[in-house]
Amino acid sequence: MTGSRIYLRPPAHADEGEFLGLMRASRSFHRPWASAPTDEDRFRAYLADAGRPDFEAMLVCRSEDHAILGFFNISQIVRRSLQSAYLGYAVGKPYAGHGYMREGISLVLRRAFLTLRLHRIEVNIQPGNHASIALARGAGFRREGFSPRYLKIGGRWRDHERWAILAEEWRHRHEYAGNGLDRAGALESALPERG
């Protein structure tokens, strides 16, 4: 999956050194929002997860030099009548604020809804993580609710906001994009915020 400045690809054993170096250097930047693999055992577990049918791991790489910038994970993919999954992501500190993840999430959602044929994607974000909320909101996710003490990160149970997007909401945004209309404004006027 290729965008204008980045592309997404699965992780491989050969990525261990570069990936771990980036995540270790970004540890304080991610705290307390995310807990990315920072050692060999956790990276190998990440690769094992990436091989499961209910998990899609994607590295965000810069087209010009193939540097690893961050990652997206579509996890807990449930089929049958649910057709749903969770989305997780993190960017390396040196690459934050440059729009790489915004471009990446667009590619991820295209894959989720067109290739994987999912109906719903959910992302859970701590209320103080304004950059992550802005990324989700900008991609068309809407806030569905609040989950107290939802996920243990850094040894503490942390509150999260629940954000989601449905396939038809994503398609609706892209229909407006094809017509040259303001996607975000059109979507907000068509769909009331929940939660």
pLDDT: which is higher, 107 or 174:
107
Instruction: Identify the domain containing residue 76 by its residue range.
Output: 6-190
pLDDT: which is higher, 160 or 177:
160
Q: Which among 45, 172, 187, 23 is positioned nearest to 89, based on CA atoms?
A: 23
Q: Are 8 and 58 in contact (CB under 8 A)?
A: yes
Check whether 12 has a pLDDT greater than 80. yes
Between CA 24 and CA 31, with CA 30 as vertex, the angle to 5 degrees is: 105
Check whether 35 has a pLDDT greater than 50. yes
Check whether 161 has a pLDDT greater than 90. yes
Question: What percent of the chain is helix, strand and coil (3-state, nearest 5)?
Answer: 40, 30, 30
Domain count, the chain: 1
Q: How confident is the model at residue 189 (pLDDT cuts 50, 70, 90)?
A: very low
Examine residue 195 and state whether it is found in any structural domain, yes or no.
no
Q: Looking at 46-50, 89-93, 179-183, 188-192, which range is the least confident one?
A: 188-192
Examine residue 45 and state whether it is found in any structural domain, yes or no.
yes
Interval 183-193 mean pLDDT: 38
Examine residue 1 and state whether it is found in any structural domain, yes or no.
no
Phi, psi torsion values for 44, nearest 5 degrees: -65, -35
pLDDT: which is higher, 126 or 183:
126
- pTM here? 0.85
Query: Residue 85 belongs to a domain with what CATH number?
Result: 3.40.630.30
Q: How confident is the model at residue 176 (pLDDT cuts 50, 70, 90)?
A: low
Examine residue 24 and state whether it is found in any structural domain, yes or no.
yes
Examine residue 60 and state whether it is found in any structural domain, yes or no.
yes
Interval 151-164 mean pLDDT: 92
Interval 82-106 mean pLDDT: 96
